[in-house]
Structure 1
Amino acid sequence: MDIHAIDHIELYVGDARQSAFYFGTAVGFHLCGQGGPETGLDGQRSLLLTQGDIRMVLTTGLSAAHPATEYVRRHGDGIAVVALEVDDAAGAYAELVARGATGLSAPRTWTGADAEVVTAEVGGFGDVVHRLVERRGDRAVFLPGAVEPTPPARTGSGAGQQLLCDIDHLAVCVPPGQLADTVALYARVFGFREIFTEHIEVAGQAMNSTVVQSRSERVTLVLLEPDTSRRPGQIDAFLSEHHGAGVQHLGLRTDDIVTAVGALGERGVRFAGTPATYYDDLERRVGAIAAPLDRLRELGILVDHDHGGQLLQIFTESMHVRRTLFLELIERRGARTFGSGNIKALYEAKERELAAASPAQGVGV
């Protein structure tokens, strides 16, 4: 069994149209398809958004019994499905279950005039599901007979502009004591390799981090666990507000982060702030940067490096009421790691955001 890439992600949300408006207008995604009870998706309304090679489905449950309804009630809006591209969905499902995965949905075939798609589902971390996807025929057809293409009108502003290319990684928070078991699950069941591990301490907080990756190197999970021997921090806050393990942030790759951040900022995306002093010794720390330092400072873009080169990254503020899921934009210039040298700056920025979201007094009437 080979896992090739992330086929798509699916967010369960309270209002799919409202979420699509944000991702379209602010982040530049385009509405490409929709489905619901009339197309065979019982009890739900789903919208398909795309940008570059990223496919994102936004699903709202239309009944109390639908899994999306319960997910949103417990966790709030968030990534509920990480779909994996495979050659043989039925074979992969049988193999994963034999290795110890929890089987959730047996293989099902969706057939259209130009394409056939086979899907099956197994459990992943927390309440997140892995959907196995096998595509035959026209690979541009998402789910024949269930998600119908929409007219080619653009959802996002700046029609035709592709700012984001693909999914770089997903950062996953797990409760304390569960990191080793989660790493072992992905090694034993999914065949992922552990490629990086570290213990990070900053400002009296600490966490353990392990990165696991598919053998194709195109599916990467950054697994994070709080160190309970130190004071509670943002990983603890995520686990509390999300009520368990889940995707803390979605890393999206861009080929030009300066242009992307400038454009998204003009559309209303709010980015986590970075202390001005961060840039005072930046080039001493990471070497010469092929981007204007003043522009990086203005936009708040972080820079790190490893043996392979540099990476530029920035994190959005969460767009959700629970302050859970947020986005990362990342441009890789040879670097293969994830900006460990920027963790302190991220922590400081997120601490300020969380403090601002928790006013000291209530609102009077």
Structure 2
Amino acid sequence: MRTSIATVSLSGSLTEKLTAASRAGFDGVEIFENDLLASPLAPEEVRARCADLGLTIDLYQPMRDIEAVPAEEFARNLRRARRKFELMGRLGTDTVLVCSSVSPLAEDDDALAAEQLSRLADLAQDFGVRVAYEALAWGRHVSTYDHAWRIVETAGHPALGTCLDSFHILSRSPEPKDLEGIADIPGEKIFFLQLADAPLLGMDVLQWSRHHRCFPGQGGFDVAGLVRHVLRAGYDGPLSLEVFNDVFRQAEAGPTAVDARRSLLVLQDQVGLTALPAPAAPTGFAFAELVTPDAEPVRALLTGLGFARTARHRGKPVELWEQGEARLLVNTGPAALRHSRLRSLGGTPVDGTCLAAIGLESPDPAAAARRAEALLAPVLPRRRAAEDAPLDAVAAPDGTELFLCATHRPGLPDWRADFEDVPHAAAVAGVRRIDHVALTQPWHHFDEAVLFHRSVLGLDAQESVDVADPYGLLRSRAVATADGGVRLPLTVGAAPGDDTAQARHIALATDDVVAAARRFTEAGGRLLPIPANYYDDLAARFTFADGEWETYRALGILYDRDAHGVFRHCYTHTVGRVFFELVQRDDGYQGYGAANAPVRLAAQRAGR
């Protein structure tokens, strides 16, 4: 099915928006009037530019406050419409979007609305134009799709149809039964379909629409369910995205357009229009890779945590550190210089250590790579020696490399074979595996990252939460496998460029966090100090066994409970932009200690 995107969904000039849409693979665009008005290109030049890019102009929008108005006002509206229809002829598009009126002059009179829309359609027909009438969720008198359709049906004009918009419909009628009336609309009278998702928020619908729309799969609406109803009605026009979003309006148009196109590829797969390669969801963490220009602080931290340096890559300056099933790579080669960005906070140099890559255990790495490529996440080119194991990797929106691994799986290449064992003492028993990896996101990649990890990797997204930071709010949303084998909390902060807020961390699972914390401090490690006020509050909220609360306070261990179980965790100091967390999940605890995050963030800032 053809795909389209409204130019208002992308940032930049009209030319930049058209180029981004074409490169992302869209078939057409909706020209938003403000984009045309601000462009130095004449309508004929815009038409030619679109043709050169392989784009059709599927819609011109919007025309506002047209119907159910006094006669003299409607006469002025017809004069305005005539000029717009002439303009559309120059652009080479034949469908115009007319939004239900929000004018204080509009009357609550369906018969008048139908009569005036019919007269508008008469004029449009003279110019070869179709009128798609859309119910705005905040329309003065017409705010639902079924009401708009009754008016169109009453008008009975061949050049007048309806436009269905998923945001306007689902923001008012989110229940599946509310969509059943779509089947009563003849497919040929659905002139256009606009799609947007949104997080589920309790706020004024106009502000919700203008600032919080997102691409399908990034919010909480059942966009796929709505599209199924529309397709069953017989609609055969384009699937078009119309998204108003403060982030997209400031982010680079190219990546946003790719993200948008990816959302439609997933949507078409969900409704049965296309068949993507099936997801091969990861089953666990193979490794996490740290790159650093100075390995000594990292080695000291890992040694304190009980890891042992067990192997070294045959041809690269990369060390393998292991404990239980937890594996960490420490890379001091040229990649470290590319990934690390030395900064200064308050005159104090900050080490360039950062988390650059994650290895994910895959049941079928080749199938996972095919899925990624189909969803516009091509496999990254890699320079490797002939004897190195072939290991595919894709780039997440934030640039993190995600390697698709099959560690010790018979018949499949094993990345571990690229390493040669080195003499080492046994790792200290305590850490069992990597529990989760928390990835801070650039502010303009958060929604894109959620969609990427859901669609490309096949992870499930949990509800978004807001966490109070001393200098603002952090928004976090975890993506994970159903069994918790892979957990990736994604977070975006309120302070771009702040290394403390933007640090990433690796959580290490242990069966006894108290013992693990003691071993770390006895080895000379420093755990993040937690204010005494936190423990006073903890004692007020929970009941502990004798000496338990005192132990947590002495070691800096934080505590949380959910409906499933108990969570105990503590943090190391930060090296560069990486720190570690020791975690103990008991009785099926599902979360990440979000209630403790404000205390952790404040403590990290205080210790900076």
Question: TM-score, normalising length from structure 1?
Answer: 0.79
Query: What is the distance in 1 between the residues matched to 2:329 and 2:575?
Result: 17
Conserved 8 A contact 1:305-1:311: yes
- Matched residues, percent identical? 25
Partner of 1:52: 324
Q: Relative to 1, partners in 2 of residues 1:218 and 1:30: Cα closer, same or farther, differing over 3 Å? A: same
SS at match of 2:447: helix
Query: What is the distance in 1 between the residues matched to 2:303 and 2:289?
Result: 19
Query: What is the distance in 1 between the residues matched to 2:309 and 2:291?
Result: 17
SS at match of 1:100: coil
Number of equivalences: 319
Conserved 8 A contact 2:286-2:327: yes
Query: What is the distance in 2 between the residues matched to 1:273 and 1:73?
Result: 27
Partner of 2:339: 71
SS at match of 1:212: strand
Deviations 1:14-49 (A, max 9, x none): 144x256314432211111112xxx3x3xx311111
Query: What is the distance in 2 between the residues matched to 1:21 and 1:7?
Result: 19
Conserved 8 A contact 1:193-1:213: yes
Q: Relative to 1, partners in 2 of residues 1:270 and 1:23: Cα closer, same or farther, differing over 3 Å? A: closer
Q: Relative to 1, partners in 2 of residues 1:14 and 1:138: Cα closer, same or farther, differing over 3 Å? A: farther
Partner of 2:108: none
Larger helix percent: 2
Of 164, 168, 172 in structure 1, the residue corresponding to residue 431 of structure 2 is 164
Conserved 8 A contact 1:118-1:133: no
Partner of 1:11: 290
Partner of 1:149: 421
SS at match of 1:190: coil
Query: What is the distance in 2 between the residues matched to 1:204 and 1:32?
Result: 41
Partner of 2:445: 178
Of 376, 387, 393 in structure 2, the residue corresponding to residue 121 of structure 1 is 393
Conserved 8 A contact 2:568-2:584: yes
SS at match of 1:182: helix
Work out whether 1:137 is the aligned partner of 2:410.
Answer: yes
SS at match of 2:463: strand
Partner of 1:331: 584
Partner of 1:189: 456
Conserved 8 A contact 1:123-1:129: yes
Work out whether 1:349 is the aligned partner of 2:603.
Answer: yes
Conserved 8 A contact 1:107-1:120: no
1:2 CA displacement: 3.1
Query: What is the distance in 2 between the residues matched to 1:216 and 1:176?
Result: 29
Conserved 8 A contact 2:309-2:319: yes
Q: Relative to 1, partners in 2 of residues 1:139 and 1:56: Cα closer, same or farther, differing over 3 Å? A: farther
1:141 CA displacement: 6.9
The answer for unaligned runs of 5 or more in structure 1 is 355-365
Partner of 1:259: 515
Counterparts of 1:100-111 in structure 2 under 5 Å?
A: 100-105=376-381
RMSD: 2.9
> Bigger relative contact order, structure 1 or 2, given CA contacts below 8 A and separation 6+?
1
Conserved 8 A contact 1:89-1:107: no
Query: What is the distance in 1 between the residues matched to 2:538 and 2:545?
Result: 9
Deviations 1:203-232 (A, max 9, x none): 4521111011134531111111124xxxx4
Query: What is the distance in 2 between the residues matched to 1:119 and 1:52?
Result: 23
1:102 CA displacement: 3.0
1:282 CA displacement: 1.4
Amino acid at match of 1:99: L
Q: Relative to 1, partners in 2 of residues 1:119 and 1:278: Cα closer, same or farther, differing over 3 Å? A: same
SS at match of 2:484: coil
SS at match of 2:498: helix
Work out whether 1:22 is the aligned partner of 2:300.
Answer: yes
Query: What is the distance in 1 between the residues matched to 2:329 and 2:308?
Result: 11
Conserved 8 A contact 2:405-2:415: no
Conserved 8 A contact 1:174-1:239: no
Q: Relative to 1, partners in 2 of residues 1:292 and 1:217: Cα closer, same or farther, differing over 3 Å? A: closer
Q: Relative to 1, partners in 2 of residues 1:60 and 1:290: Cα closer, same or farther, differing over 3 Å? A: farther
Conserved 8 A contact 2:292-2:340: yes
SS at match of 1:92: helix
Deviations 1:87-109 (A, max 9, x none): 33223212211122132037989
Of 528, 531, 536 in structure 2, the residue corresponding to residue 275 of structure 1 is 531
Conserved 8 A contact 1:19-1:58: no
Conserved 8 A contact 2:511-2:584: yes
Query: What is the distance in 2 between the residues matched to 1:170 and 1:238?
Result: 17
Q: Relative to 1, partners in 2 of residues 1:138 and 1:286: Cα closer, same or farther, differing over 3 Å? A: farther
1:252 CA displacement: 1.0
Counterparts of 1:299-338 in structure 2 under 5 Å?
A: 299-320=555-576, 324-334=577-587, 335-338=589-592
Conserved 8 A contact 1:6-1:83: yes
Of 466, 479, 490 in structure 2, the residue corresponding to residue 223 of structure 1 is 490
Q: Relative to 1, partners in 2 of residues 1:291 and 1:99: Cα closer, same or farther, differing over 3 Å? A: farther
Runs of 4+ in 1 over 3 A off after TM superposition: 105-112, 135-142, 286-291
Query: What is the distance in 2 between the residues matched to 1:179 and 1:309?
Result: 29
Query: What is the distance in 2 between the residues matched to 1:288 and 1:211?
Result: 29
Conserved 8 A contact 1:238-1:248: no
Of 196, 219, 238 in structure 1, the residue corresponding to residue 499 of structure 2 is 238
Amino acid at match of 1:49: W
Conserved 8 A contact 1:33-1:148: yes
Amino acid at match of 2:604: K
Conserved 8 A contact 1:3-1:215: no
1:312 CA displacement: 0.7
Q: Relative to 1, partners in 2 of residues 1:20 and 1:182: Cα closer, same or farther, differing over 3 Å? A: closer
Query: What is the distance in 2 between the residues matched to 1:193 and 1:71?
Result: 29
Query: What is the distance in 1 between the residues matched to 2:414 and 2:376?
Result: 32
Amino acid at match of 1:350: Q
Partner of 1:34: 312
Work out whether 1:297 is the aligned partner of 2:541.
Answer: no
Which deviates further from its counterpart, 67-76 or 256-265?
67-76
1:290 CA displacement: 8.4
Partner of 2:10: none
Query: What is the distance in 2 between the residues matched to 1:213 and 1:222?
Result: 8
Amino acid at match of 1:148: E
Query: What is the distance in 2 between the residues matched to 1:105 and 1:291?
Result: 55
Conserved 8 A contact 1:109-1:118: no
Structure of higher CA gyration radius = 2
Amino acid at match of 2:311: G
Conserved 8 A contact 1:286-1:305: no
Q: Relative to 1, partners in 2 of residues 1:176 and 1:274: Cα closer, same or farther, differing over 3 Å? A: same
Q: Relative to 1, partners in 2 of residues 1:285 and 1:80: Cα closer, same or farther, differing over 3 Å? A: same
Partner of 1:363: none
Q: Relative to 1, partners in 2 of residues 1:110 and 1:221: Cα closer, same or farther, differing over 3 Å? A: farther
Query: What is the distance in 2 between the residues matched to 1:138 and 1:97?
Result: 23
Q: Relative to 1, partners in 2 of residues 1:110 and 1:294: Cα closer, same or farther, differing over 3 Å? A: farther
